[in-house]
Each structure stands twice: as C-alpha cells, then as structure tokens.
C-alpha cells in the first residue's frame, strides 16, 4: 500500500451484532485471509450466506481490501 493511502485512506468499519470490530482485529483478519486461502474462502462463504453471492463477495472486498491486494 502506498504511503499516501496509509496516511489518508480510512479503514472500513465492520459492524456486528456485538458492536464494531476494532481496526486491529480487522487488519489481522485481512492478513490471515491474505496468507491462508482456506480462511479467505470461509470468510467469503459466511458473507455470501448473509448477503448473497455478488453482494457478499463485494462486502468481503470492502471489509478486507488488504486480503485482495496483489503485491
């Protein structure tokens, strides 16, 4: 991620039934997804189950953009 993006890009807020997810937890989840295809598939499956195929996959990319970077 470029320095400008790190400084000025706001991280997505993830709301759950228990309240918002902390940025540290969100970032760690994205890192886990990036490093493990099975984890990424499980997260995508949960979101697809909640929102449907297209919206669920789009929501995964919105919540965890770092997991989809191709650096």
- Regarding predicted confidence, which is higher, 1 or 19? 19
User: Into how many domains does the chain fold?
Assistant: 1
Residue 30 lies in a domain: yes
Is the confidence at residue 71, as pLDDT, over 70? no
Between the two ends of the chain, the Cα-to-Cα distance in Å is 8
Residue 6 lies in a domain: no
Decide: helix, strand or coil at residue 22. Answer: coil
Residue 43 lies in a domain: yes
Residue 5 lies in a domain: no
Residue 47 lies in a domain: yes
Domain that holds residue 29: 19-68
pTM of the model: 0.78
Residue 48 lies in a domain: yes
Percent of the chain scoring above 70 in pLDDT: 86
Residue 8 lies in a domain: no
Rounded distance, CA 59 to CA 71, Å?
Answer: 21
């Amino acid at each position: 991620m470029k320095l400008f993006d790190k400084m000025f890009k706001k991280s997505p807020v993830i709301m759950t039934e228990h309240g918002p997810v902390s940025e540290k937890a969100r970032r760690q989840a994205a890192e886990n997804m990036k490093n493990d295809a099975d984890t990424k598939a499980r997260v995508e499956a949960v979101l697809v189950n909640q929102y449907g195929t297209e919206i669920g996959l789009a929501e995964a990319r919105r919540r965890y953009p770092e997991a989809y970077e191709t650096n």
